[in-house]
Structures are given as structure tokens and as C-alpha cells.
């Protein structure tokens, strides 16, 4: 079964011997990849909609993985069961991800490891997790169909982060590399376009956007 670069990278970041809950599994391709590639993985593939779950069930059956992957219908973390150690939420907006965590906050706090790949509002996601009992243990960038995605691993614990850490990601800031340069060059250009398009009276927005552009320039030139 074919899997895209983004899902492959997420799968590769999961530790062997994990019990995973994939929230918003859609087709369950990630869970199938995981069980086939990593040792001793159990997974719950869950989704809020029946349509994607029907497809997930078909895919799992085709691969004869019904024993390893359980399918559950439900909203967000409501499909959690005790002894799940890793929750994966990917391919959704950052605000939806934060909402999913807030809606079942008592369950949210039980989980050891989160692997999160938000499509947007990545900074808000980092702040939410780090203000609620987690630290950033790893971060990766992955390119897929010309988009560059962030994947962030949160683990239970506490670390202090600066504004710059939240903006760039503390681990990405350490690692940098080619994809980092490409990602933040794109971020800089989109902000330059925004400034050119903003009406005159959006002075504050322009001011903060210019500050972000300067911060990106400094890091890229460093």
C-alpha cells in the first residue's frame, strides 16, 4: 500500500512496542504502515466520520491486520483507552487539534507521547502543549507534494521556551538544515506579500509582521 512522505515520516518517528491512538485516521494508511514496519505495535485507528472509517476497515482487512489495529468511531480523544501511550494527530488545522485536546482535558493529560502534525497554527499548538505539562522532545520537517510540514513530538515534562523557540521550534532551531532554510524562506516571502497587501490602517499587524521577517532574516543569516 502506498503511503506519502509525510505519513511515512510520522510512522518512522513512532517507537517500537508502542500502543498508538491515531485520531482522525481517515484511511488508516499510517496505522497499517506502522504495524507492518515497526516491531510490536498495537493501534487504535479512530475517526469522527463513518465514511473514512469504512475505508479504513477495508484497508485493514485487505492487509489482514484486524488483530493489530482496532477501529473506533468517535470524536477526538473520546476513543482513548487506558494503556495507550502514544497519540498521533495529523493532517488537521492546529486550532482543531487544540480543541480536540481541550474537549477531553482529563484524558489529554494521561498520555505520555504526542506526535502532532498541524497544517497551520503550529506556534499555538506548541504553546498549548508546553503550557499544559509537555515539552518538545523532537521536531522534523518533511516535504510532500511541494508542501513542507512540521511534525512535533511532545513528551510529559517541563522546559522553558523563548518566543523565538515557539516561533521556529526549539529542536528545528538547533538542527536547521536545507529544508529549514526553504521553509522559513517561504514563511518570510508570504509575510512580505501580506505586508504589501495590508491596508494602511493595519499598522500594528504590519509592525509585528515586519518584526517576524527580521527575526527570520537573522536566523537564516546566522
Ligand X SMILES: C[S@@+](CC[C@H](N)C(=O)[O-])C[C@H]1O[C@@H](n2cnc3c(N)ncnc32)[C@H](O)[C@@H]1O
What is d(CA 94, CA 99) in angstroms, rounded to the nearest whole number? 9
Residues in a beta bridge with 142: 149
Task: Considering only residues 6 through 25, tell me which ones interact with ligand X, judged by CB under 6 A.
Answer: 7, 23-25
How distant, in Å, are the alpha carbons of 40, 52, 77, 195 from that of 103? Answer: 30, 22, 8, 36
What is d(CA 144, CA 138) in angstroms, rounded to the nearest whole number? 19
Concatenating the DSSP letter of every residue in 6-46 gives HHHHHHHHSPTT-EEEEET-TT-HHHHHHHHHSTT-EEEEE
Q: Is 148 in the site for ligand X (CB under 6 A)?
A: no
If the CB atoms of residues 55 and 137 are measured against ligand X, the closer one turns out to be 55
Provide, rounded to whole angstroms, the least separation between the CB of residue 129 and ligand X: 17
As a dihedral over the C-alpha atoms of residue 80, residue 81, residue 87, residue 90, rounded to 10 degrees, the angle is -30
Residues 21-60 as x/- pattern, contact with ligand X by CB under 6 A:
--xxxx--------------------xxx--x--------
Residues 60-99 as x/- pattern, contact with ligand X by CB under 6 A:
---------------xx-------------xxx---x---
If the CB atoms of residues 3 and 216 are measured against ligand X, the closer one turns out to be 3
Provide, rounded to whole angstroms, the least separation between the CB of residue 113 and ligand X: 16
Q: For binding to ligand X (CB under 6 A), which residues are involved?
A: 7, 23-26, 47-49, 52, 75-76, 90-92, 96, 100
Amino acid at each position: 500500500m502506498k503511503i506519502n512522505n509525510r505519513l511515512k515520516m510520522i510512522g518512522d518517528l513512532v517507537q517500537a512496542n508502542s500502543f498508538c491512538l491515531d485520531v482522525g485516521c481517515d484511511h488508516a494508511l499510517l496505522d497499517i504502515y506502522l504495524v507492518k514496519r515497526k516491531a510490536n505495535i498495537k493501534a487504535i485507528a479512530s475517526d469522527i466520520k463513518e465514511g473514512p472509517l469504512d475505508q479504513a476497515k477495508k484497508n485493514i482487512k485487505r492487509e489482514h491486520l484486524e488483530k493489530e489495529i482496532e477501529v473506533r468511531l468517535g470524536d477526538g480523544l473520546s476513543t482513548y483507552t487506558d494503556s495507550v501511550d502514544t497519540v498521533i494527530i495529523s493532517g488537521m488545522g492546529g486550532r482543531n487539534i487544540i480543541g480536540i485536546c481541550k474537549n477531553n482535558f482529563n484524558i489529554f493529560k494521561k498520555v505520555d507521547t504526542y506526535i502532532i502534525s498541524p497544517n497551520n497554527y503550529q506556534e499555538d499548538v506548541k504553546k498549548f502543549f508546553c503550557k499544559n505539562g509537555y515539552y518538545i522532545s523532537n521536531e522534523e520537517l518533511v516535504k510532500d507534494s511541494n508542501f513542507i510540514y512540521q511534525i512535533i513530538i511532545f513528551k510529559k515534562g517541563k522546559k522553558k521556551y523563548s518566543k523565538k523557540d515557539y516561533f521556529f521550534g526549539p529542536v528545528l532551531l538547533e538542527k536547521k538544515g536545507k529544508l529549514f532554510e526553504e521553509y522559513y524562506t517561504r514563511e518570510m516571502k508570504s509575510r512580505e506579500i501580506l505586508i504589501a497587501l495590508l491596508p494602511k490602517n493595519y499598522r500594528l499587524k504590519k509592525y509585528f509582521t515586519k518584526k517576524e521577517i527580521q527575526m527570520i532574516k537573522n536566523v537564516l543569516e546566522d
